[in-house]
Amino acid sequence: MVFLDPPYTVAHNNNGFVRYNDKLFSFADQRRLSKMIDAIRMRSAYYILTNAAHSSIAELFEKGDRRIETFRKNAVGGATAARGTATEYLFTNIY
């Protein structure tokens, strides 16, 4: 079982980290990660991937497996008023 939690490189709930994370993990890196998941699946291994709840991510990681939409509270950040909830996707081939 492989757990994947990449930096989110698309705007999701206006998280403010898009420009910063794009330098660390670009959308091209997201595409490579998608191919890595294909390799994991070909080996009959399980995976769990967390990622931004964004249409481009949903499309990129659509592999016929489960996609679960989750919500979490943002607990980290400078201004308490800017903290809110974020929507994320969890992709997995575990049923």
| Paired tokens of 83 | 């903290």
What pLDDT, on a 0 to 100 scale, did the predictor assign at position 21?
62
pTM: 0.80
Alpha-carbon distance 95 to 54, whole Å? 23
pLDDT digits (tens, 9 = 90+) for 30-43: 999 999 999 999 99
Sole residue written with tokens 């809110």: 84
> Could you give all domains of the chain from N- to C-terminal order, each with its CATH number?
2-92 (3.40.50.150)
Question: Under 8 Å CB-to-CB from 38, ≥6 apart: which residues?
Answer: 63
